[in-house]
Chains A and B, each alone.
Chain A
Amino acid sequence: MFTLTINGEARDVDVDEGTPLLFVLRDTLGMTGTKYGCGIAQCGACTVLMDGAAMRSCQLPVEAVGPSEITTIEAVEADDVGKRVVAAWIEGQVPQCGYCQSGQVMAATALLKQTPEPSDDDILYGMSNLCRCGTYNAIAAAVRQAAKA
């Protein structure tokens, strides 16, 4: 049994040691906004915030979370920066298939929390999530938009 702090709430989960946080979220807690894409920290679809920093939850064993605060896409708009990011995503009509976009929104939120006025290079290095639909330019524009808002 592990006690996690997710979106400000304490959640007890009865899972094996070694279970990636991603599957605790999706299958144990039914929070399916966070996506599984690769399972090896390559695609970023599973990105959540851990104490405000972007974390690929597929490579984060549940026991490593400890008392850290986890924020998922389900609660991202409760955060001021996250709210601006989602608004910019909608205004910029960013998603295509949308499957990568939860992770993109979380990565953008983390980036802007750390770097409120990101340069193009900051976006390039801070947003390494894959998008098979090729929305990279729309994402970069939305990040800049959210930074301005």
Chain B
Amino acid sequence: MILAPASAAGLSRRAFILRSGAFVLGAALPTRVLADVAGAGEGAAAVAPAPGTRVAAFIEIGADNTVRFLSPFVEGGQGIATGMAQTVGEELDVDPARIEVECAPPGPDYQVVNGMRLTGGSFSTRSSYPVVRRLGATARDMLLRAAAARLEVDVDALTTRDGVVVHATSGRTLTYGDLATEALALTPREDVPLRDPAAFRWIGKPVGRIDVADKSRGLAKYTIDHAVDGMLFAAVVHAPHYGTEPKALSNEADVKVMPGVHSIHTLPGAVAVTADSWWRARKAVEALDVTWTDPAPTGIATVAADFSSDGMLAALTGSTAPGVSVEAEGDTAATFAAAAKVIEAEYHAPYLNHAQLEPPSTIARFNDDGTLDVWLPNQMPEAFQKLCAEAGGVVPEQVRLHQPMLGGFFGRHFTYGTGNPFPQAILLAKATGRPVKLVWSREEEFKMDALRPLSFTRLKAALGADGMPTAITSRTVGEGPLGRYFGLSPDSSTVEGITEKPYAIANRAMETVTLRHPVNIAFWRSVGHSMNDFFYEGFLDEIADAGGQDPFALRKALLAHSRRHLALLDEVARISGGWRRGPYTVDGTSRARGLAMASPFGSETATIAEVSLEDGATKVHNVWVAFDPGSVVNPAIVKAQVESAVALGLSETLVEQAVYENGVRRDANYDTYQVLRREMMPAVHVSIVESGAPMGGVGEPGLPGVPGAVVNAVAALTGVRVRSLPLANTPLSAA
């Protein structure tokens, strides 16, 4: 059961590009046949509504004039709930601060991301912005018409003011709450004009986040904070070697009589205990003496007894399999033959955990009417609903998903086969006949989390006599989540950030080779970009050095054709006080700067990092980011998201890695799995450039420029060119 259905996923813009805009991913999803009964009037009439059009599915107005918006997206820190409130509030004419935003249940109405529904790919705002504006405007129009009928006046004589319809001539007013029932019974108009952007009050403004007060008071409720009547608590221990199974329990009787223990279970790849408290369940399950089946002795077809990150990297590096072309332009062979200089380099990046601070959990409850309630974190409701149904032996329509906000996600909450507790919670609820709340300990989470794949790329460039690059080739070996979960071939998630670069290098030949990882792999904030932009931008600095060019000047020359990119380069230079590579001295220590650009998820970034060395470790003092997502809904949230992405990018640059040794993951908790800590956090300076280009993503694009900028700065400072992450693996000393 449950193993890797073709359903997990976030997706990158590239997925669409590779198949010329076709909705390739739609095919991987279950067809929804949910009969929604959200409202009268237009709601009931709409048998198969086009996603994002049915007002009653999205906007609920209470008699007390409260406004609730059912969001297609789940809030996990990215600020999407506030963005939704701003956008719908602007058109509906309700102050976003008064709008309550909740994650919508599964259903066809909410499949607004190219006919699908997911929170990922930095897709939320850009995919839904026009849809949500229109919903707000349509609803306002229905309210106005209902008011006109009630007051027996012409609709043109009415205006609105923050949730109230006003008849200026007579001074009469009606709240939206007074009108909601009548308004919803009206047929919606399809041609309601949208508000003139020049008159926006909330869109494009740094509106305060609607969830910040609760989160500052400990009142925000995540999945792990929920409880239901009569529930048992459950804890699990997974097989030490991924893919092995429990064979025997030698002390079951002893554990059974431990205080509070209700029952002991073997599950696929795990053992479980239910008890009257989580702590007791955990103590008991960890006391079980389990014999597990043996892993394969060797090889990379499975996580064998001798599987290691080093071994996997050696397999990727040593692969001689023919590559599949993902980008080809010009004549690279001839250009290399005529080159004044040829350089070549190998780059790699490690596996990574998501390490979101909320450990995953699930509550499952079977009800007397045969339905199943499930509380769980997720980024893709339809896929989870389907898998919950499979695990519970019911049909998807019988599964009610409850989707609290996420305690961080970064790509963590797609389905990922065995990478989530919900199938176990459902099996335990079924076996015990009681509601079950299963929480994975941090140790189990770090053992079972699906990982950002380790990857390897070999790059080669030809330079002309003038020191300018004339050709570039790349060979990437590995596997990405789009291939694994969506069957995308070639898999754009292995090469995004190496392909489709804006630089004018006329001859290009980029290829990818699929070599399957035996471990569970994942989307991780900015997906392939999280490493590929580092590979490319690091190598571009190597090209600059080989050609005797300044890295900033080289990028300017290669981008002379693109006003958008030149503007970003100028902006990042400006906010950092003018480009200078260094080394130079500040407060008696030597510092240097590095530059990197990236074009992730429809947005463009230029990033400069300033570093020094402290006891052989890289210290990052400042990061400047010029960020162009086309246009923005909330500049304050955009800045916060870019800073957050910078922090995660620094984490993987400086210290972070999930390491396999002898068939197991080395690090089980934050004591040895290093993440960015306060002392590593630099000052971050973000400048938003609204070029007016089509709206790009926001949550992820701040990340990919960071590793390249830092590593390029380290090279400028030390003369050491680091081609693998994290930097902590490479001892450094000043040049």
Contact = CB atoms under 8 A, between A and B. Distances in A.
Contacts, number: 166
A137 B675 contact: no
Interface string A111-148: 00000000000001001101111111111100000000
B373 interface: no
Contacts of A139: 678
B307 interface: no
Contact of B677 (A15, A35, A45, A130): A130
B614 to A, nearest CB: 14
Contacts of A42: 669-671
Contact of A99 (B408, B643, B645): B408
A105 interface: yes
Interface string A81-107: 000001001100111111111100100
Contacts of B166: none
Nearest to B648: A134
B225 A32 contact: yes
A38 B681 contact: no
B271 to A, nearest CB: 19
* Dominant secondary structure at the A interface: loop
A98 B215 contact: yes
Contacts of A36: 224, 359, 439
A134 B644 contact: yes
Contacts of B211: 95, 98
A149 to B, nearest CB: 14
Among B216, B356, B407, B443, chain A packs the most CB atoms within 10 A around the CB of: B216
Among B233, B675, B683, chain A packs the most CB atoms within 10 A around the CB of: B675
A16 B647 contact: no
B676 interface: yes
B357 A43 contact: yes
A19 interface: yes
B399 to A, nearest CB: 25
Contacts of A20: 279
B277 interface: yes
B218 A34 contact: yes
Contacts of A33: 217-219
A93 B209 CA distance: 7
Contacts of B432: none
A40 B667 CA distance: 13
Interface string B113-138: 00000000000000000000000000
A69 interface: no
A130 B215 CA distance: 16
Interface string A20-62: 1001001110101111111110110100000000000000000
Contacts of A134: 643-648, 651, 676, 681
Contacts of A30: 227
Contact of A15 (B78, B79, B277, B439): B277
A132 B408 contact: yes
B103 interface: no
B257 to A, nearest CB: 14
Contacts of A102: 218
B633 to A, nearest CB: 15
Given A42-B670, A124-B678, A97 B356 contact: yes
B355 A132 contact: yes
A78 to B, nearest CB: 12
Interface in B404-440: 405-410, 439
A101 B636 contact: no
B280 interface: yes
Among A35, A132, A140, chain B packs the most CB atoms within 10 A around the CB of: A132
A13 B646 CA distance: 44
B212 A73 contact: no
Interface string B534-548: 000000000000000
Given A37-B359, A133-B644, A96 B217 contact: no
B670 A130 contact: yes
Contacts of B636: 93
B32 interface: no
A16 B259 contact: yes
B501 interface: no
Nearest to A77: B217
B675 A130 contact: yes
A74 interface: yes
Given A99-B357, A130-B357, A40 B671 contact: yes
A95 B405 CA distance: 13
Among A33, A76, A140, chain B packs the most CB atoms within 10 A around the CB of: A33
Contacts of B651: 134
Contacts of B213: 90
Contacts of A101: 215-216, 218
Nearest to B226: A32
Contact of B280 (A16, A72, A100, A128): A16
Among B225, B279, B644, B671, chain A packs the most CB atoms within 10 A around the CB of: B279
B407 A97 contact: yes
Nearest to B221: A32
Given A96-B640, A137-B684, A38 B278 contact: no
A136 B218 contact: no
A128 B677 contact: yes
B395 to A, nearest CB: 33
B441 A99 contact: no
B679 interface: yes
Contacts of A35: 224, 357-358, 407
B675 A132 contact: yes
Contacts of B443: 39
Nearest to A33: B218
Contact of B406 (A37, A43, A97): A97
A112 to B, nearest CB: 15
B182 to A, nearest CB: 38
A117 to B, nearest CB: 19
20 contacts: A20-B279, A27-B279, A36-B359, A36-B439, A42-B671, A45-B357, A94-B216, A95-B209, A96-B78, A97-B405, A98-B216, A99-B408, A105-B216, A130-B677, A135-B640, A136-B676, A136-B678, A136-B681, A137-B684, A138-B640
Given A39-B443, A93-B636, A137-B683, 13 more contacts: A26-B225, A32-B225, A37-B357, A37-B358, A42-B671, A89-B212, A90-B213, A93-B209, A96-B79, A101-B215, A101-B216, A132-B410, A134-B648
